[in-house]
Structure 1
């Protein structure tokens, strides 16, 4: 297909076969898979292209709560999600002496917001989403070299010499940047090794270093594994030292040196044994230990013509904040609603208008999540503002914490073209503009003349 940005034509939908726009998704991460799952349910043609040759989700812990529960319910996977996850009622913050500093509690969220929060490992949620999409729609080993777009479509060229044509291009592959994070997941452990695994609720414990620019955490899962992570907060000088790693992918190759640096950091098992991160490293398969560079940033440009970004490609959150995955899914919900509402044979101006509305709907919530993530990251740091933040959180009364929570948990988006999930939370959901968008009906599309 030849892409000509200056193409001019008359667009008469009364004489054209009803055709939904074909969507090309670059990136098979959580956001890309969620969008693919929703487009499949909307019967909108799509293909997903991933540059790695096989799916290798690494062992990070993922926290999902009421903000994604309605999505899972609408897609018929909520019960499986709950079965895979482990209910979490609090985040504990401890010091290097394994003493509890304070706890942030989530009890009562089921009544207030309609759903509880659960901890899952990233491989578990990844495989759950992957099972919802016919495998013939996912193509691995497809590294994008170039793309062209214009009035008559998009054309993507891959490094293996193949091409793909479509009407819309979604960039969901993220961008690599500048906070070092090591993540891992152990094999299933015995209760003798880690007694906290016997507790019904997931034990999510964050540790604050006394005199080091690290924070680390452990989470117990329903599969009797421990998901663990350690984040190094880079300053200007150490960021330069790690520039060689900046453009690498998640992988175990770069992890060994960081494992050496953090091996003596203490962890809490729930028993009398004195354990460190080295004990978790020894019990973790090498393929589930990975080092990655991340950063916090919201990009100004989210779309252009027939191309739109989502997830890490347009907003990146520090992993310590725990909101990256859920916000990528929120993007997918709104973007799917907007794409589903496009008329048959949409022209580029109609597509770009939908993308503009998508960004307008998402940007405020992304900003709130970004602020919450930054506050959490500051809390586990070593600066004077970090100590002040911890003091404030430790002494904030429960009623004030509930008020802060509502800024995040009133956002419980749903898919407009699937039966709505019943939301019984006593705290009502915030307005969602894209929920009012209807699926186009062929008979209702009048003759349209567009010049592109």
Structure 2
């Protein structure tokens, strides 16, 4: 296919068959799989392209609450999600002496917002989402070399010599998105890229992430407790914080964060573009082996024990970039998840916001007319960003505060001092700002939201598929004719 930007004609849809736009998704992470699942349920053609040759169960634990529960329930995966997760009601902040400093409570969420919060190991949720995607639509080993877009479609070229054509291109390929880089390069040449979007991703933290094998009660007694034991330990006079989470699989997920200064930033800059993997992790493991961990045992469990219980290929060292990009779309190309907004994991909102992106974007793509032209597609993308941007900025701010709270600076100590003394009403107000955003899929049967706090207004719920619009017109026309006949009958009777 030859991509021609000059093609701007309006289709005569009255003589064309009903064709939904074909969506090309680059990236098979949580954002890409969520969007693929939703498009599949809408009957919209899609393909997912992933550069990796195989899917590896890397990562740590993730937190999900009432903000994703409606979508999980609509897609029929909520019960399975709960079965592989552990409920979490508190986040405990501890010191290096294994003493509890204070707790942040998450009580009453089901009554107020319709669902409780859960901690789930990333590989488990990934597996659930992966099984929602027909395997013929998932293509591995597809590294994007170049992309073109114009009035008549999009074209991807891969390193294996193959190509893919479609109507919409979605960059769901993470913080160093190839789709974003290709889009921004084009916009920069055309002098349409904001200056800030052209700057490198800022980062102030690196971390180790992973998950142990299933543990025994003797090794880690807290593994037996029904609730997730979510603990954050803050280093004393050292630039580190570490988190542990017990899972439903009797494993312990962990994150060890190193807060960088000017010197350590230079030392870690080589990892900026590296893949998640074990080769970069071993040196950092040795540096933090002696860090104490609370396990419910009198034995002095350390991060070294956690590492020894973890398969080496499941420990990764990663950069923790933080940025909200200004440019999310152009023409037929759009970005979702980490490709357009990257949060520090301290806030626990990165995965949920990627799924919120997928919900809103799927609603608006489903609402496009048959054979949409580039202007109509771009209009849907504009509505997508308009609906999401304020929520994204709130999530970015809250993540930055929680990241600061675990750090070694004076500002961090002040945040912790305030957090210890924050009144319950102020905490509830902060929760309302986040948990009132409970987006739903417009074209799937709605689920009853039993929360006493109603969900915030969601503009994309009004998006309707073109076949639904036609039904509405037919029904409306029938009702008008019916009313005319009734009026005529009444008139004749009166006469």
User: Normalising by the residue count of structure 2, what TM-score does the alignment of the two structures yield?
Assistant: 0.89
Alignment-derived partner of residue 201 in structure 1 = 227
Alignment match, 2:396: 370
Q: Is 1:147 paired with 2:132? A: no
Q: Distance in 2 between matches of 1:198 and 1:397?
A: 32
Q: What do the CA deviations read for 1:410-450 (whole angstroms, capped 9, x no partner)? A: 0010000100111010111110000111111287399xxxx
Aligned partner (choices 211, 216, 221) of residue 242 of structure 2:
216
Residues 188, 225 of structure 1: 8 Å contact kept: yes
* Structure 2, unaligned runs of 5 or more: 177-200, 474-495
Measure, in 1, the Cα distance between the counterparts of 2:116 and 2:468. Answer: 41
| Contact 1:3/1:153 (<8 A) preserved | yes
8 Å contact kept, 2:8–2:373: no
Cα distance in 1 between the residues matched to 2:282 and 2:101? 31
Offset from partner CA, 1:333-390 (integer Å, 9 cap, x none): 0000010000000000000000000000000000111111011011101111111111
Partner of 1:306: 332
- How far residue 293 of structure 1 moved from its aligned partner, in angstroms, is 1.1
1:357 matched residue in structure 2:
383
Q: Distance in 2 between matches of 1:415 and 1:256?
A: 43
Q: Is the 8 A contact 2:8 2:374 kept in 1?
A: no
For residues 384 and 293 of structure 1, what CA distance do their matches in structure 2 show?
23
RMSD: 1.3
Q: Which residue of 1 aligns with 2:459?
A: 433
Q: Which has the higher contact order (CA 8 A, sep 6+)?
A: 1
Which residue number in structure 2 is paired with residue 60 of structure 1?
60
Return closer, same or farther for 1:331/1:443 CA change in 2, 3 Å cut-off: closer
Superposition pairs for residues 263-302 of structure 1, below 5 Å?
263-302=289-328
For the residues of structure 2 that align with 1:81 and 1:444, how far apart are their CA atoms? 36
If the length of structure 1 is used for normalisation, what is the TM-score?
A: 0.97
State the partner residue of 1:253. 279
2:118 counterpart SS class: strand
- 1:8 Cα shift? 4.0
The answer for the alignment partner of 1:410 in structure 2 is 436
SS in 1 for 2:313: helix
8 Å CA contact 1:74–1:419 kept in 2: the answer is yes
Higher Rg of the two aligned structures: 2
Out of 241, 251, 254, the position equivalent to 1:228 is: 254
Rounded Cα–Cα distance in structure 1 between residues aligned with 2:210 and 2:54: 19
Q: Is the 8 A contact 1:149 1:305 kept in 2?
A: yes
Q: Is the 8 A contact 1:335 1:355 kept in 2?
A: yes
Change (3 A) 1:174 1:59: closer
Aligned to 1:343: 369
Partner-residue secondary structure (3-state), 1:40:
helix
* 2-structure distance, mates of 1:441, 1:401: 45
Instruction: Measure the CA separation in 2 of the matches of 1:237 and 1:4.
Output: 49
State how far apart, in whole Å, the 2-side matches of 1:197 and 1:257 are.
Answer: 28
Q: Is the 8 A contact 1:40 1:133 kept in 2?
A: yes
The alpha-carbon deviation at position 261 of structure 1 amounts to 1.0
Does the CA-based 8 Å contact 1:344-1:442 persist in structure 2? no
Q: Deviations over 1:225-261 (max 9, x none)?
A: 0001111122233222222211111111111111111
* Structure 1 counterpart of 2:134: 134
Whose helix fraction is larger, Structure 1's or Structure 2's?
Answer: 2
